[in-house]
Structure 1
Amino acid sequence: MSSSVRSPLIVILCGCAIAALTFGPRSAVGLLLTPISDSHGWGRDVFAMSFAIQNLLWGVGQPFAGAIADRFGATRVLMAGGLLYAAGLALMPFSTDPLAMHLSAGALIGFGLAGASFSLVLGAFGKLLPAEWRNIGFGLGTAAGSFGQFVFSPFASALVRGYGWEATVLVFAALMLLVVPLSLALATPRSDAAGASRADGPDTVLGALREAFSTPSYWLLVTGFFTCGFHLAFITAHLPPYLLDKGVPAAVGGWTLALIGLANIVGSLASGVLMGRMPKRLLLSAIYFARAGLIAAFVLLPVTPASSLLFGAGIGLLWLSTVPPTSGIVATLFGVRYLTMLYGFVFFSHQVGSFFGVWLGGLLFERDGSYDVVWWIAIGLSLMSGLVNLPIRERPVARGALAPAE
């Protein structure tokens, strides 16, 4: 698609559609945990492990997918990711033992998300959008994932009740194929070091990694983002069964997840606006401290349908609002040349947190019959991340000019 056709609006619309499609099915996993476990006679820890593997491999694959997209353009990576994602969903009904489920719901979907999730979309936005569109683009791309959650959660709940979980994931697999044509609008140019100045960044991937890994603020960002992944994965997978255990109807669990997605549209857009008006590190710290207070209130107060929905609205405002300032800090520190890859390494920390959030939720529930310990771990991690982000220095790394060729 030519650059004249690809106006910023077209780029944002297609990118947001991809983000919504790819984030939607994985956000409904909590609605699938109980029916899948019951249909196979598994404990909650088995499918929780599949989801944990999915999150971990999403994180493992993200830097590599980002490096390929930075070097050769985003479209092929997005197409391959969408096809892997669709294949993983389509194979889930035929995965009748834990290993097969770990491969389909875990490995295939995990690697599919690495290639087709909103992280790749944000990287493409950083390269394709003019500077004046970039902050709002980051906010819209993040909010679109939450719109997918808002749409897919009640949709999944209705499909599971009416047709079973097997039909639900097959419908999702068919929808995932739409990523292929939509990705054509996000074609980014191949990276070319020729004629680059030192101010544009290192000439090689290894040089970019050395620069990033020698920057203390980058490590602080990586460390803090672990908590975001822990929260998102634990709540996505285990909040619906937690509410069922507390006597809250299953439909309320579906609407709570949907409300998280709806509220996060507001939170992500607000984050995209605020990051242009205040230091991004302070915005991140405020989000994490607010999460700690909200989760503590939810755990300490009686769990009712009303409190569940209020928690969904509150945590939704803070859900992915960390993503625009996090990606914005990476762009501020290092520029956009290797943005997709460098954000991918930050996102790897997020997904390690996701792995532990899902895995510990299932493991400790089977051990204790309760999620209480995991909730308090989530609160402690919130406080840690709020503190870790405060010392980040938001300015471009110092670079000299390239020496003239001899």
Structure 2
Amino acid sequence: MVLSAAASVSLSLGARQTFGLFLLPLGVEHGISATVLGASVAIHNLVWGISQPFAGAIADRLGTGRVALGGAAIYAAGLLLPAIAPNAATLLIGIGILTGIGTAAAGAGTVLGAVARAVPENRRGDALGLASAGGSIGQAAMVPFAQWAIESGGTSFAFAMLASTMLLALVICPRLEWHAPIRVAGAAPAGIAGLPALARQALGDRDFALLTVGFFACGFQLAFLTMHLPSHLALCGLPTGLGVTALMLIGLFNIPGSWLCGRLGNVIRPEIALGGIYLLRTIAVAIFAATVPTAWGTMIFAAVMGFIWLGTIPLTSAAIARRFGVANLGALYGVCFLSHQVGGFIGAGAGAIVLDTTGSYDAFWPVMIGVGLVAILTNWATRAPRLAPA
């Protein structure tokens, strides 16, 4: 279960981490501006966030495997559209809408619910951390794969090659929670019909609301870096390959990082650990923004950010499970994750607008720092759950 979940996360998150590599090549090959791809990725983040509660609710009720397989098929269609006809419309529909839905159905927000239900509570942090690390393996593998495809056959070839990787879902998804989860008395999944009431109940909890606000910063920071770090380095006169190396290092270092963050949630309250992650991120961003970028400085920055890159996912899942149990974990994580993706929508889109308007990202780095400070405060302001979940 854990290995299959890691592989599904690897496919869905790994492919989307490559979108920033297409920013400059699409302009050279097809005259597509940075704003178009930036808007597509921003819409992708927003659609992913909106779809996540529904995908999680369906998986909680019917089983995760079939939902993830359907998501992989939609994801592949979204990548094939700009491969067949690269233009603004196909990017907005394919990358913006279809891959957003696909990531919600096949990604961490859905499959981690199945993992949490499959393991005992005292091992939950370890299992969630291992499954989350799968996204890092995908990033480490797919970033150089996509760069090779762009250099070998252009952007259309690269999109088609990424779409072909989704065929692996035919092997992976049946080994997930293929049938409906076993229901525990008094903890039946809400499903789509009960999702609005479930969301109102969760957001009415002060500490869940604070956790949700803090998750905004995670999406904002990571979407900006994934989308714009390669372009920022190129504009600073550094080699194009350094952006690829940085994204690959982020993925490699997050493999042990996600696992350790998951284990940390077994030792201390997850919200406290989340505040620590945002603190480390904010310090790293501040140092990187205040210094002149170099190859070694960029790689150190990527390694530090990578170690805590997806560590928020197992910790956030663990925090929700401690408060509300695991029967509706997919749906509740999706409600919280919507805030994350609103942050991603703003981070990716605003970064592209700043680039087109000013020609650099200098004005954006202080905003990254301010958003991180808010996340630290909101997570450290939460209180421990008063009662154990049913």
Q: TM-score range by the shorter chain?
A: over 0.9
Q: Give CA deviations for 1:245-284 in whole Å, capped at 9, x if unaligned.
A: 0111111110110000111112111101111111211111
What letter corresponds to residue 263 of structure 1 in structure 2?
F
Q: Give CA deviations for 1:213-248 in whole Å, capped at 9, x if unaligned.
A: 221111001100000001111000100010000111
Are the equivalent residues in 1 in contact too, given 2:261–2:308 (CA < 8 A)?
no
Match of 1:271 among 261, 267, 280: 261
Change (3 A) 1:396 1:342: farther
What letter corresponds to residue 220 of structure 2 in structure 1?
F
Secondary structure of 1:393 counterpart: coil
Match of 1:35 among 25, 36, 61: 25
Are the equivalent residues in 2 in contact too, given 1:259–1:313 (CA < 8 A)?
yes
Match of 1:371 among 336, 361, 366: 361
Corresponding residue for residue 130 of structure 1: 120
Q: How far did 1:196 drift?
A: 1.9
What letter corresponds to residue 313 of structure 1 in structure 2?
A
Corresponding residue for residue 196 of structure 1: 185
**Does 1:17 pair with 2:18?**
no
Corresponding residue for residue 40 of structure 2: 50
Q: How far did 1:163 drift?
A: 2.0
Q: How far did 1:208 drift?
A: 2.9
What letter corresponds to residue 237 of structure 1 in structure 2?
M
Q: How far did 1:335 drift?
A: 0.2
**Does 1:358 pair with 2:359?**
no
Match of 1:171 among 119, 142, 161: 161
Are the equivalent residues in 1 in contact too, given 2:86–2:156 (CA < 8 A)?
no
Match of 1:254 among 238, 244, 259: 244
Q: How far did 1:189 drift?
A: 4.8
Corresponding residue for residue 152 of structure 1: 142
Instruction: Choose 1 or 2 for highest CA Rg.
Output: 1
Q: Give CA deviations for 1:260-309 in whole Å, capped at 9, x if unaligned.
A: 01111121111011111112111111111111111011011111111111
Corresponding residue for residue 89 of structure 1: 79
Q: How far did 1:181 drift?
A: 2.7
**Does 1:74 pair with 2:64?**
yes
Match of 2:133 among 143, 146, 158: 143
Q: Give CA deviations for 1:52-96 in whole Å, capped at 9, x if unaligned.
A: 111110111000001111111112211110000011111112333
Are the equivalent residues in 2 in contact too, given 1:66–1:341 (CA < 8 A)?
yes
**Does 1:216 pair with 2:206?**
yes
Partners in 2 of 1:182 and 1:201 — Cα distance?
24
Q: TM-score, normalised by structure 1?
A: 0.91
Are the equivalent residues in 1 in contact too, given 2:230–2:244 (CA < 8 A)?
yes
What letter corresponds to residue 217 of structure 2 in structure 1?
T
Q: In structure 2, list runs of 5 or more residues that go unmatched.
A: none
What letter corresponds to residue 317 of structure 1 in structure 2?
F
Secondary structure of 2:277 counterpart: helix
Q: How far did 1:399 drift?
A: 8.1
Q: Give CA deviations for 1:123-170 in whole Å, capped at 9, x if unaligned.
A: 110112233432111101111101111111112122211222211111
Secondary structure of 2:104 counterpart: helix
Q: How far did 1:396 drift?
A: 5.5
Identity between Structure 1 and Structure 2 (%): 37
Are the equivalent residues in 1 in contact too, given 2:125–2:264 (CA < 8 A)?
no
Match of 1:328 among 287, 310, 318: 318
Are the equivalent residues in 2 in contact too, given 1:79–1:180 (CA < 8 A)?
yes
Corresponding residue for residue 5 of structure 1: none
Q: How far did 1:17 drift?
A: 1.0
Are the equivalent residues in 2 in contact too, given 1:95–1:101 (CA < 8 A)?
no
Change (3 A) 1:97 1:397: farther
Are the equivalent residues in 2 in contact too, given 1:275–1:325 (CA < 8 A)?
yes
1:227-242 aligned at under 5 Å gives the runs 227-242=217-232
Change (3 A) 1:263 1:191: closer
Secondary structure of 1:337 counterpart: coil
Are the equivalent residues in 1 in contact too, given 2:61–2:190 (CA < 8 A)?
no
What letter corresponds to residue 249 of structure 1 in structure 2?
P
What letter corresponds to residue 136 of structure 1 in structure 2?
D
Corresponding residue for residue 7 of structure 1: none
Partners in 2 of 1:143 and 1:192 — Cα distance?
26
Q: Indicate the RMSD between aligned Cα atoms, in angstroms.
A: 1.9
Partners in 2 of 1:398 and 1:143 — Cα distance?
28
Greater shift in the superposed pair: 283-292 or 37-46: 37-46
Partners in 1 of 2:212 and 2:145 — Cα distance?
34
What letter corresponds to residue 197 of structure 1 in structure 2?
G
Q: TM-score, normalised by structure 2?
A: 0.95
Partners in 1 of 2:189 and 2:317 — Cα distance?
17
Are the equivalent residues in 2 in contact too, given 1:230–1:353 (CA < 8 A)?
yes
Secondary structure of 1:50 counterpart: helix
Partners in 2 of 1:242 and 1:173 — Cα distance?
27
